[in-house]
Amino acid sequence: MSERMLTFTTVPRTTPQKRDVAVRNADFHEIYAEFIDEKAAQQASRCSQCGVPFCQTHCPLHNNIPDWLRMTAEGRLEEAYEISQATNSMPEVCGRICPQDRLCEGNCVIEQSGHGTVTIGAVEKYLTDKAWELGWVKPLAPGPSRGKSVGVIGAGPAGLAAAERLAEAGYTVTIYDRHDRPGGLMIYGIPSFKLEKPVVERRTSRLAEGGIEFRQGFEVGRDASLPQLRERHDAILIASGVYKSRDLICPGAGSAGVVAALDSLTSSNRIGLGDSVPAFDSGALNASGKDVVVVGGGDTAMDCVRTAVRQGAASVTCLYRRDRDNMPGSAREVAHAEEEGVVFEWLAAPRSILGDAACISGVRAARMRLGPPDASGRQAPVEVEGGDFDLPAQMVIKALGFDPEDMPALFDESALTVSRWGTVKTDFRTMMTSLPGVFAAGDIVRGASLVVWAIRDGRDAADAIDRYLAEAPALMAAE
**Between residue 239 and residue 268, which ones bind ligand FAD under the rule CB under 6 A?**
239-241, 265
Q: What x/- string results for residues 58 through 97 when contact with ligand FAD is judged by CB under 6 A?
A: ---------------------------------------x
Give all strands of the β-sheet with 149-153 in edge-to-edge order. 213-216, 172-177, 149-153, 235-238, 438-440
Minimum distance, C-beta of residue 375 to ligand FAD, in the bound complex (Å): 25
**Which one of ligand SF4, ligand FAD, none is in contact with 424 (Cβ closer than 5 to 8 A by kind)?**
none
Nearer Cβ to ligand FAD (28/176): 176
Task: Candidates 80, 185, 391, 432: give the one binding ligand FAD (CB under 6 A).
Answer: 185
Stretch that binds ligand FAD, among 35-43, 64-72, 341-349, 447-455 (CB under 6 A): 447-455
Question: CB neighbours of 416 closer than 8 A, spacing ≥ 6?
Answer: 226, 407, 408, 424, 433, 434, 435, 438
Question: Which residue number, 62 or 179, has a Cβ lying nearer to ligand FAD?
Answer: 179
Q: Pairing relation of β-strands 343-345 and 315-319?
A: parallel
Query: What's the sign of the alpha-carbon dihedral 93, 335, 289, 354?
Result: positive
Distance CA 210, CA 104 (A): 31
The Cβ of residue 145 has, within 10 Å, a number of other Cβ atoms equal to 9
Residue with smaller CB distance to ligand FAD, 80 or 160 = 160
AA identity, residue 388: D
Instruction: Choose from ligand SF4, ligand FAD, none: what does 234 bind? Cβ within 5-8 Å by kind.
Output: none
**Residues 84 and 127: beta-carbon distance below 8 Å:** yes
Q: Which of 111, 234, 291, 299 binds ligand FAD (CB under 6 A)?
A: 299
User: Are 239 and 442 spatial neighbours (Cβ–Cβ below 8 Å)?
Assistant: yes
Tell me: does residue 450 bind ligand FAD (CB under 6 A): yes
178 binds, among ligand FAD, ligand SF4, none (CB under 5 to 8 A by kind): ligand FAD
Residue 69 and residue 118 in contact, taking contact as beta carbons nearer than 8 Å: yes
Strands 343-345, 348-356: pairing kind: unpaired
How many other CB atoms are found less than 10 A from the CB of residue 114?
A: 6
Interface residue list for ligand SF4 (CB under 6 A): 59, 61, 63, 65, 88, 94-95, 98, 100, 103-104, 120-121, 124, 452
Given ligand SF4, ligand FAD, none, residue 451, with its beta carbon under 5 to 8 Å by kind, binds ligand FAD
DSSP 3-state of 182 = coil
292 binding ligand FAD? (CB under 6 A): no
The entry of ligand SF4, ligand FAD, none that residue 124 binds, CB within 5 to 8 Å by partner kind: ligand SF4
Helix (H, G, I), strand (E, B) or coil at 91: helix
The DSSP bridge partners found for residue 356 are: 359
Report, in Å, the least distance between residue 456 CB and ligand SF4.
9
Site residues, ligand FAD (CB under 6 A): 97-98, 153-159, 176-179, 184-186, 189-190, 194, 219-221, 239-241, 265, 299-300, 303, 410, 442-443, 449-452, 454
